[in-house]
Amino acid sequence: MKVRADVAELLREGLSNAEVSRRTGVHPVKVSDARRALRLPDYRDMQPGYVAPLSRREHGTRAKYVVEKCRCPKCKRANRSEDNKRSRLQAYGRWQPYVDAEPVRQHVRALEAYGIGWKRVAKLAGVPASVVSKLLYGAAYRGRGPSKGLRPDNAAKLLAVQAVPENLATAVDGTGTRRRLQALIAGGWPQAQLARRLGMIPGNFGALLHANAAGVLPGTARSVAALYDELWRADPLEHGVHPQAASRARNQGRTNQWPPVGAWDDDTIDDPAATPDWTGQCGTPEGYWVHRRRGLLPACHRCRDANTAAKNARKAVAV
């Protein structure tokens, strides 16, 4: 398609189709055809705009566009797509921006009575905590009562949360969780890498490495167990871990005397009364010397006790 020079110049400057049509007298449909022929994006994507910094809201969402005023190409396209969707639904008479909040509120109250707090309900549903807070208590600082309406997608997510034991926030014993993470670190997996794979911040992750009387949440225990099953035989260097970071992790495990993966069996790693078998012969005099030959020092207390008992027995015989 041959495009008039003045039309092409105005389109390349970032003007809208309507403005180009007004200035040149060319029909808007022809201007639109010219834009496609020149392979130019929408004029809104050609204009520089404010790009919001990184936050919990991802680029390419209407929320980023509306709340944070981001005008990057991704957010503008997402906002335009939502506007088009709304216009179509309004034209078909199917536009329903909100649903009745009362059934959802009663469902969340029932979950609370079961023992699942509203903040945990929000986390399980993948809904912002502020949405559930306004649903139950409103916004007192603005003089508003509990929400009367709710977005259909948020309502569906909240109603999908069930009153089952798996969703309770009751802590379980953290022995197995702690041992699995310590074993992975001893094998060369840095804390930061493991925390990132678990979706945790470093501060919360560090607390999992040490004895905690409060235990851990069932979901955390399951996530750590799944991560352990995935990584216990994997080489950190083949998964993007820098050699220096892997070396520091192994040194951390050695300094803290954290048993490696091979020291635990699947049927003992969760047992608080179980002890690691570093050498395959721990608890025997031979195990003490295996510790020394492999550089697994200091030897574990079972091997030290067995070696001491063997020496005392030899002395008794000599006497």
Cβ proximity of 303 and 291 under 8 Å: yes
| pLDDT recorded at residue 56 | 79
Q: What is the pLDDT of residues 32-58, one digit of tens each?
A: 999 999 888 888 777 777 888 888 788
Judged against a pLDDT cut of 70, whether residue 140 lies above it is answered with: no
Q: In Å, what is the CA distance from 21 to each residue of 1, 3, 28, 32, 79? A: 17, 13, 5, 9, 25
Between residues 171 and 113, which one has the greater pLDDT?
A: 113
DSSP H helices in 69-168: 73-92, 102-114, 118-125, 129-137, 152-159
What proportion of the chain, given as a percentage, has pLDDT over 70?
Answer: 92
| pLDDT recorded at residue 114 | 84
| pLDDT recorded at residue 318 | 66
| pLDDT recorded at residue 160 | 94
Amino acid at 216: V
Residues in Cβ contact with 245 at an 8 Å cutoff, skipping those fewer than 6 apart: 190, 192, 193
CA 159 – CA 105 distance, rounded (Å): 9
Name the band, by pLDDT with cuts 50, 70 and 90, for residue 30. very high
| pLDDT recorded at residue 40 | 86
Q: What is the pLDDT of residues 285-310, one digit of tens each?
A: 776 677 677 666 666 767 777 778 77
| pLDDT recorded at residue 295 | 67
Report the chain's mean pLDDT, rounded to a whole number.
Answer: 85
| pLDDT recorded at residue 236 | 92
Q: What is the pLDDT of residues 102-139, one digit of tens each?
A: 999 999 999 988 888 888 899 889 998 889 999 998 87
What proportion of the chain, given as a percentage, has pLDDT over 90?
Answer: 28
Q: What is the pLDDT of residues 212-260, one digit of tens each?
A: 666 787 778 888 999 999 998 899 999 889 999 999 999 998 888 888 8
